[in-house]
Amino acid sequence: MTCTNEQLKFSVFIINQISNSLEKPPSVVFNYLAESGVLDDYIIGCYDSLHTLGREYLVEDITGLLHDRGFAI
């Protein structure tokens, strides 16, 4: 999926926030997000809505979505 510069910056922000929260390397978080489809389908696909939300909510929401898709994080 192609993305805009803003979507790319937002994706990097989310990856780093989840990485900090889970105390896992950003590369591991990126792999979870990419393999699960959450990166393309949700983070980039729903950028217009998601970028208006708070950091803590986003981390909880996205880690919950990963869990729902069978990724033990």
Q: Read off the pLDDT band of 73 (50, 70, 90).
A: confident
Evaluate if residue 2 carries a pLDDT over 90: no
At residue 28, φ and ψ (nearest 5 deg) are -70, -45
Model pTM greater than 0.75?
A: yes
CA distance 42 to 31: 15
3-class DSSP state of 33: helix
- Collapsed DSSP state (helix, strand, coil) of residue 36: helix
> Mean of the pLDDT values across residues 24-46?
96
User: Which residue matches tokens 């999926």?
Assistant: 1
